Amino acid sequence: MKATFLLLAVLVCCSTGGEITIAHGMKTLGEPASLRPKALLVFLGRALRNGWFWAGIPLMALSFYALLVLLSWQPVSLVIPASALSYVVGTLGAKYFLYEQVSRARWAGVVLVCIGVALVAGG
């Protein structure tokens, strides 16, 4: 069970870390000039040259492999709700690393996620 909790922490931290680094990289790029193919290719080229983007890719890959291992060890009815803790860590990361404003309604949602994870883990 100790290994399960450790791998769940890897899943949550790497997933959230990858999402935050990729989000930061994409925010530095801005939006594509238009949705025309040439503009999208130019935007994609800029994204592929962004270091934050590339920092997030291995984190996301590691979180995926952690998810696969967890699914081989534990029932999906436990793994998927427990992985929802990434919403909590993601909200904290958005607030403190990306400096996003998080409304009270979103914090209430985070609390509800925590309650749901506790109910699933306990039962």
SS3 string of the chain? CHHHHHHHHHHHHHHHHHHHHHHHHHHHHCCCCCCCHHHHHHHHHHHHCCHHHHHHHHHHHHHHHHHHHHHHHCCHHHHHHHHCHHHHHHHHHHHHCCCCCCCHHHHHHHHHHHHHHHHHHHC
Count the domains in the chain: 1
Instruction: Encode pLDDT of 19-58 as tens digits.
Output: 999 999 988 888 887 889 998 998 989 889 999 999 999 9
Tokens 């989000």 belong to which residue? Answer: 23
pTM for this predicted structure: 0.80
**Residue span of the structural domain in which 12 resides:** 2-122
